[in-house]
């Protein structure tokens, strides 16, 4: 059974940092691209970042470029999203998701098949 579990969300002040983790089980991380997405209240889910499997190529949404860093540890079957310089507008539920390799590097929601349950990130003073 494929399962993705996010953790690491919380409440942080503007300018602060959080690191989200995505633990995968039921399949091997080596053969999948991993994406991070977020959904704020009343808004559509949007892509934040993704990372390929073997060569670890990355892609970022313009809104987080230079502040967020995606990484993966295949040995631990875990992906991460380091978020620095957090802004009020980063407040959302953050989800990780997996896509088969043939999809390529993408942060389109429709390209991802398996999703975690989400973790809340709240940026507030």
Least confident of 1-5, 17-21, 57-61: 1-5
Contacts of 90 (CB under 8 A, 6+ apart): 38, 64, 83, 121, 123
Tell me the pLDDT band of 121, cut-offs 50, 70 and 90: very high
72 phi and psi angles, rounded to 5 deg: -150, 150
Tell me the pLDDT band of 27, cut-offs 50, 70 and 90: confident
Nearest 10 degrees: Cα torsion 56, 68, 105, 42: 150
Give the whole-angstrom CA distance, residue 104 versus residue 95: 19
Helices and strands (H and E) in the chain: how many = 0, 11
69-95 residue pLDDT tens: 999 988 898 999 999 999 999 999 999
pLDDT for the residue 118: 98
- Find, among 17, 2, 63, 13, the residue nearest to 38 by Cα: 63
pLDDT for the residue 70: 96
pLDDT for the residue 101: 80
Tell me the pLDDT band of 62, cut-offs 50, 70 and 90: very high
Half-sphere exposure of 123 (CA within 13 A, CB side): 18
Query: What's the DSSP call for residue 40?
Result: -
């Amino acid at each position: 059974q494929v399962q993705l579990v996010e953790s690491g969300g919380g409440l942080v002040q503007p300018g602060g940092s959080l690191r989200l983790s995505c633990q995968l089980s039921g399949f091997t991380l080596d053969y999948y691209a991993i994406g991070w997405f977020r959904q704020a209240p009343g808004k559509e889910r949007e892509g934040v970042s993704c990372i390929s499997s073997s060569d670890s190529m990355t892609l970022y949404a313009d809104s987080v470029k230079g502040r967020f860093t995606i990484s993966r540890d295949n040995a631990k079957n875990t992906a991460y999203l380091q978020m620095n310089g957090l802004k009020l507008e980063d407040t959302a539920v953050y989800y990780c998701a997996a896509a088969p390799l043939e999809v390529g590097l993408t942060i389109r929601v429709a390209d991802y098949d398996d999703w975690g349950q989400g973790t809340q990130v709240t940026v507030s003073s």
